[in-house]
Amino acid sequence: MYPVKFLLALPFLVGSATAYIECTVGATYCGWYLADDLKWGNSVLTTKLATDLGTCTMWGDMQARNALWLCESGGLARATKVCDKNCDGPQAHCR
């Protein structure tokens, strides 16, 4: 199972010129926090959003930034919901 997880994460890890920071397992994040503060980047989140939820429109970057993400094992996150309005913190939630 681990080789499969690594292969799924490979485009994520290689896609960013800047080293990304792993999320905390079990924590929920807003996409904008992952993209900006943890250096994951908008394009990575947009791709993962399409994979995780089957959602991708011409506003894909904004959807990814305003989505809730659950951090799973290996320090990678899975999109759980796109917020109707905005994702807000410090405790990530939809407004």
Q: Return d(Cα 65, Cα 87) in angstroms, integer.
A: 8
pLDDT of residue 58: 56
Looking only at the bridges linking them, the beta strands covering 93-94 and 87-88 are antiparallel
Radius of gyration of the chain (CA): 12
User: How many domains does the chain contain in total?
Assistant: 1
Largest Cα–Cα distance in the chain? Answer: 38
Domain containing 88 equals: 2-94
Global pTM value: 0.76
Residue-wise pLDDT for 39-88, tens only, equals 999 988 998 998 898 866 656 678 999 999 999 998 899 999 999 999 99
Q: Taking the CB of residue 32, how many other CB atoms lie within 10 A of it?
A: 20
Q: What is the DSSP letter of 31?
A: H
Residue-wise pLDDT for 10-34, tens only, equals 445 445 455 789 999 999 999 999 9
pLDDT of residue 19: 78
